[in-house]
Amino acid sequence: MATIAFLGTGNMGSGMASQLLKAGHQLKVYNRTREKAAPLQKEGALLVDTPAEAAENADAIFSMVGNDVASNAIWNGEDGVLSGHYKQGAIAIECSTLSYNWVGELSSILQDKGLDYIDCPVTGLPTAAAAGELTLLMGCSAENLEKARPYLDPVSREIIRFGDIGAGTAYKLIVNLMGSVQIVALAEGMLVAEKAGLDLATVADALSRGTAGSGQVVQNGPAMVSGDHDSNVLFSALWRHKDTDYGYKFAEQMGVETSLAQESLKQFQKLIDAGFENSAGSKVIDVMRK
């Protein structure tokens, strides 16, 4: 079995790392908040103090962090992977949802330093990560995909290659931006239903089963009905805003008119400005109500 570094063990990363351990790989893990990685230590992972230490002699290096800034620190920081004694030809598997431009820059940096870069954002809830049932959205050469399969298979139920480096991130930004638009559209529809005097629970149920239904409608409708946006938050407004911003900028870069994206970003920005960054994205209905 291989030696793997896993950098970032939050809601998604912890489940992925656990699956790699169950597959028999030797795992070295790093998380900025060390206590959050402690459960993996009990499962047999080696908990280390820096990304560089984790990556030393690793065959593959996974990264699952929050944004471009965190990704840059993981790879290029004072104690980042590139500051240490990593193995030439190791596979750098970047699973974070990052901006399109940063993925292009980071992949060039890491390849120049002798690492094989794989653009590998994921889709699925933390429960899917813990069960090894994520969908991986790949941007890499066919050769590197085959090289990485022993490390990817334990964390996934499906692997979709969209093209070369950057293609996986392009798709992830598109689908997350569409999700943000759907949440805002759902909130707007629910507010109209509220003004019309309809029973919101009935509306949410009907929407979830109708042609306007989607995963976002199913997930966010009940919270908009109950008003509970703070219990068991799986994806906070902070990260929803970040993904909307990255997706909006990507669409603009591609020369696409982005009125829906712009309005969605505006509404999630209001939510952040109101101090609800730790609430679920469904909370956007409250700022739109006002």
Predicted structure pTM score: 0.95
For residue 290, the model assigns a pLDDT of 85
Q: What percent of the chain has pLDDT over 70?
A: 100
Answer whether 282's CB lies under 8 Å from 242's CB. Answer: no
pLDDT digits (tens, 9 = 90+) for 50-89: 999 999 999 999 999 999 999 999 999 999 999 999 999 9
Which tokens in the block code for residue 122? 């994921």
Answer whether 92's CB lies under 8 Å from 115's CB. Answer: yes
| Strand pairing class (122-123; 134-139) | antiparallel
pLDDT digits (tens, 9 = 90+) for 257-287: 999 999 999 999 999 999 999 999 999 999 9
Burial class (CB in 10 A: 0-12, 13-18, 19+), 6: buried
Domains for the chain: give ranges and CATH numbers.
Answer: 3-165 (3.40.50.720), 170-289 (1.10.1040.10)
pLDDT digits (tens, 9 = 90+) for 205-214: 999 999 999 9
- Residue 198 reports pLDDT greater than 90: yes
pLDDT digits (tens, 9 = 90+) for 133-190: 999 999 999 999 999 999 999 999 999 999 999 999 999 999 999 999 999 999 999 9
Give the up-direction half-sphere exposure of residue 175: CA atoms within 13 A in the CB hemisphere.
Answer: 16
Q: Which of 196, 260, 194, 197 shows the shortest CA–CA distance to 227?
A: 194
Q: What percent of the chain has pLDDT over 90?
A: 98
pLDDT digits (tens, 9 = 90+) for 8-36: 999 999 999 999 999 999 999 999 998 88
Mean pLDDT of the chain: 97
- Residue 1 reports pLDDT greater than 90: no
What does the alpha-carbon distance between residue 193 and residue 187 come to, in Å, rounded to a whole number? 10
